[in-house]
Amino acid sequence: MSDESAKMMPAKRDKPKINLIGRTEAQLQDFFAGIGEKPFRARQILQWIHQRNATRFDEMSDLSKALRNQLDQVAIIALPEVISEQKSSDGTIKWLFESGAGQAVETVFIPELGRGTLCISSQVGCALDCAFCATGAQGFNRNLNVDEIVGQVTHANRHLPRRPTGDPAISNVVFMGMGEPLANYRNVVLALDILLSDYAYGLSKRRITVSTSGIVPQIEKLGDACNVSLAVSLHAPSDELRDKLVPINRMHPIADLLEACWRYAAKRANRFITFEYVMLRDINDSVEHADELAALLKDRPAKVNLIPFNPFIGNEYERSRPETIRNFQKRLRHHGLVSTTRKTRGDDIDAACGQLAGKVRDKVRVRLSEKKQRTATA
């Protein structure tokens, strides 16, 4: 199509443009088939967006000018809007992304020796209401769409300098930010497709972890669909206690959850499931709890990650004492279980697990009122 004929095309004002950030290779192939282009264009576009950091179609030098113009008419490359970026003294970076209606989600980058982990969100808020979680306390607002899930990775990847080895800063992605990824199953699986694609981020299944509070049917489905690493928020060794801490347990009790976990693990030879266990003082942190937990997980492909509770305003729980956490871990090891304790990172910027939503609303409110003032004075 010449520039001249493009001008004569009827205006496409009514049809919203398609954001290509969250499109998988298969979806892009369909899209290109629809405009009479070859399937290999899908890979070119993935590479331009996710590896070559293009923001405009006119940068895409290996596409004809006519195709670039055509893409301009129907598609965009739009990243989520950043509200704020904060850097912790320990190198952790936290971004707050606008997600409409005065809401926001957070993404956290955690640099460590030899790797960089990006912790991303899958929902605005969460419906599952775990007793110790700030996101749960916020309630559920909506699912993030695929553009918004992948957009967190795209933004961070474009922003972070490569490592001294020349490798990208992000080596691992964990779905441990706001929301329950398996309650937004469809969009999370599409996002995983893009994170795994060699033409986009090329991350291996081992380096992507989906963390779930235990939606059993979705665990089964995920195992068949894409078998990435799985982390399960167990937090209690008995149904009686877990019913209180993780209410989804009333629907999917521990025995069913663990059965689904072992089936998931069996689909991937020699791969462990990580069980997250938040350490709440005098609630779930006794040696007897450790014994019970070990009895559930012993001789299984399981490792335990103890997470010191991160307090937030309006919540009554307290973090277990360091000595209690050490004893709990020792006890698990005594039973032969692999167990680690998560280091709390980004404390000074509220980037720790479960705190993400803490001050989000206030920040969004401040930012929106600043924006209003700027418009008023402009």
The reply on whether position 213 binds ligand SAH by CB under 6 A is yes
The reply on whether position 320 binds ligand SAH by CB under 6 A is no
d(CA 108, CA 118): 6
Angle between helices 185-196 and 146-159 (to 10 degrees): 40
User: At residue 242, what is the residue type?
Assistant: R
Residue 261 a catalytic site member: no
* Number of residues engaging ligand SAH in binding (CB under 6 A): 16
CB closer to ligand SF4, 44 vs 187: 187
- What's the closest the beta carbon of residue 101 comes to ligand SF4, in angstroms? 19
CB closer to ligand SAH, 107 vs 233: 233
CB closer to ligand SF4, 126 vs 190: 126
d(CA 249, CA 241): 10
Residue 353 a catalytic site member: yes
The reply on whether position 179 binds ligand SF4 by CB under 6 A is yes
Q: Interacting stretch for ligand SAH, rule CB under 6 A, among 71-79, 153-161, 250-258, 302-310?
A: 302-310
Q: Interacting stretch for ligand SF4, rule CB under 6 A, among 31-39, 121-129, 219-227, 255-263?
A: 121-129
> Pick from 28, 150, 176, 265: which binds ligand SAH (CB under 6 A)?
176
- What's the closest the beta carbon of residue 342 comes to ligand SAH, in angstroms? 8
Q: Taking CB within 5 to 8 Å according to partner kind, which of ligand SAH, ligand SF4, none is near residue 129?
A: ligand SF4
Q: Interacting stretch for ligand SF4, rule CB under 6 A, among 63-71, 122-130, 198-206, 294-302?
A: 122-130
The reply on whether position 210 binds ligand SF4 by CB under 6 A is no
CB closer to ligand SAH, 57 vs 275: 275
Burial 40-58 (b: 16+ CB within 10 A, else e): ebbbbbbbbbbeeebeebe
Helices (H) and strands (E) in the chain, counts: 13, 14
Reported residue count of the chain is: 378
d(CA 112, CA 318): 27
d(CA 255, CA 263): 12
Pick the closest to residue 117 from 88, 164, 157, 158 (CA basis): 157
- The first and second tokens of residue 216, run together, are 């059993």
Q: Which residues contact 10 (CB under 8 A, 6 or more apart)?
A: none
The reply on whether position 130 binds ligand SF4 by CB under 6 A is yes
Q: DSSP for 113-164, please give it.
A: TTEEEEE---EEE-SS--TT-HHHHH-EEEE--HHHHHHHHHHHHHHSPPPT
> Pick from 104, 133, 182, 293: which binds ligand SF4 (CB under 6 A)?
133
Q: Taking CB within 5 to 8 Å according to partner kind, which of ligand SAH, ligand SF4, none is near residue 310?
A: ligand SAH
d(CA 233, CA 90): 26
Annotated catalytic residue within 106, 148, 180, 276: 106
Residues of this chain, 253-282, that bind ligand SAH according to CB under 6 A: 276, 278
- What's the closest the beta carbon of residue 132 comes to ligand SAH, in angstroms? 5
User: At residue 376, what is the residue type?
Assistant: A
CB closer to ligand SF4, 85 vs 129: 129
- Burial of 166 per CB tally in 10 Å (0-12, 13-18, 19+): exposed
> Pick from 128, 156, 302, 332: which binds ligand SF4 (CB under 6 A)?
128
Pick the closest to residue 76 from 12, 158, 120 (CA basis): 12
d(CA 251, CA 197): 35
The reply on whether position 290 binds ligand SF4 by CB under 6 A is no
> Pick from 152, 197, 310, 320: which binds ligand SAH (CB under 6 A)?
310
Residue 290, number of CB atoms within 10 A of its CB: 26
Asked if 187 contacts 149 with a C-beta cutoff of 8 angstroms, the reply is: yes
CB closer to ligand SAH, 84 vs 315: 315
The reply on whether position 181 binds ligand SF4 by CB under 6 A is no
d(CA 152, CA 347): 21
> Pick from 180, 193, 285, 350: which binds ligand SF4 (CB under 6 A)?
180
Which residues are annotated as catalytic? 106, 353
Query: Can you give the binding site for ligand SAH, defined by CB under 6 A?
Result: 130, 132-133, 176, 180, 211-213, 233, 276, 278, 307, 309-310, 353-354
